[in-house]
Amino acid sequence: MSDISNASEECLRRLAAEGRFHPGEIAELMQMTERQFRNLINALFGCSPQEWLDKERRNLAESKFRAGLSTKHIAADTGFESIPSFCRWWRRQRESNGLGPKQGI
């Protein structure tokens, strides 16, 4: 991978870890159009921005569950405005992977 793509990948992971899980916001921070951002994500990760962001968000939530943080804190840290919306998203993420709410954590 080139230095530019390595730097872009690291920047993207850092932004996701900081809770910036909205493609438009990340594109703006990177001074890109949403189309450029979509193309970058596809080139780096082979998926759509939303698929990549959901994976990063899921990984962050799992690590915070393992660390024993509360659902309230995890919801806020992963960019959700409410606990119920986080819980619905979490349940869909786990079900789409064939897992229960805390199975495999």
The dihedral through the CA atoms of 36, 45, 19, 80 has a sign that is positive
Q: Are 15 and 29 in contact, with CB atoms under 8 Å apart?
A: yes
The dihedral through the CA atoms of 63, 64, 66, 67 has a sign that is positive
Q: pLDDT tens digit string along 5-55?
A: 677 777 788 877 665 678 888 888 888 899 998 998 998 889 999 899 888
Q: pLDDT tens digit string along 62-97?
A: 999 999 999 999 998 888 889 999 999 988 887 777
pTM for this model (two decimals): 0.74
- Cβ-Cβ contacts under 8 Å for 43 (sequence gap 6 or more): 5
For the chain, what are the domain ranges? 3-48, 53-96
